[in-house]
């Protein structure tokens, strides 16, 4: 009979402990919920989500007609390091960041610069074209793919608010420079010539010849303006 009594006491004690733990949990649940809510609010305060509110008024400053023949596009990625205050007290007042820049460079020929005297034909039906020099139309960052990889600020500073903007400007310049050094203008010129060559040959002209900027029309009496030329066979 003794073991039955002991077993009953153990069951009662276990039940009492379980009820006590449950009561404690129920009692502290509001406190835990409040603590989680406070932690969430603090996190939102330290890392706020930016709110973008565009002004409903839009002002169009200028409208221009473009005649650009875009013939090549480069996609360039560049890592930029920007820093300020990196002296003896850099650990206190310095600011340094690594910016991964992803940009696009587009080049081609502006056909609006093509004058009437830059197009002519001869009696054999050959077309002569003096194209303008290729140029870079766009060298811009892709903001969706560009980002700050790392930033290190001193103990006594919140960082230079202009540092990222300076890094972005430097990145655009470096992207443009990298594309030019790789020969984007030369390739843009060649692509423009290839495109116009196929286009004019498809119109029926027997041959298409590209001349340099300093070359003049061939001195022949049969040279006529392109606008009055008749396609060759």
CA–CA gap between residue 95 and residue 130 (Å, rounded): 52
Judge whether 146 and 76 are in contact, CB under 8 Å.
no
Judge whether 141 and 175 are in contact, CB under 8 Å.
yes
CA–CA gap between residue 166 and residue 169 (Å, rounded): 5
CA–CA gap between residue 127 and residue 204 (Å, rounded): 11
Task: Count other Cβ atoms within 10 Å, centred on residue 95.
Answer: 22
Residue-wise pLDDT tens digits, 4-42? 655 555 556 565 555 565 655 565 565 555 566 665 655
- The residues spanned by each domain of the chain are 1-37, 68-228
Residue-wise pLDDT tens digits, 191-230? 999 999 998 888 888 788 998 877 655 544 334 444 433 3
H or E segment and range at residue 200: helix 184-202
Residue-wise pLDDT tens digits, 32-49? 555 666 656 555 555 566
């Amino acid at each position: 009979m003794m073991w039955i009594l002991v077993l009953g006491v153990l069951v009662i004690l276990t039940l009492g402990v379980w009820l006590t733990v449950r009561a404690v949990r129920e009692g502290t649940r509001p406190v835990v919920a409040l603590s989680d809510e406070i932690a969430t609010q603090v996190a939102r305060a330290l890392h706020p989500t930016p709110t973008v509110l565009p002004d409903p008024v839009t002002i169009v400053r200028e409208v221009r007609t473009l005649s650009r023949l875009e013939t090549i596009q480069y996609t360039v990625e560049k890592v930029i390091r920007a820093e300020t205050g990196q002296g003896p007290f850099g650990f206190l007042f310095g600011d340094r960041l690594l910016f991964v820049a992803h940009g696009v460079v587009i080049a081609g020929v502006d056909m609006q610069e093509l004058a009437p005297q830059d197009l002519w034909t001869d009696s054999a039906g050959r077309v002569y074209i003096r194209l303008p020099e290729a140029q870079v139309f766009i060298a811009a960052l892709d903001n969706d793919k560009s980002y700050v990889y790392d930033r290190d600020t001193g103990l006594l500073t919140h960082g230079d608010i202009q540092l990222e903007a300076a890094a972005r400007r430097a990145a655009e310049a470096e992207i443009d420079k990298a594309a030019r050094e790789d020969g984007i203008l030369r390739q843009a010129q060649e692509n423009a010539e290839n495109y116009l060559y196929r286009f004019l040959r498809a119109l029926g002209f027997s041959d298409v010849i590209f001349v340099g900027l300093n070359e003049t029309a061939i001195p022949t009496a049969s040279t006529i303006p392109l606008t009055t030329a008749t396609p060759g066979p």
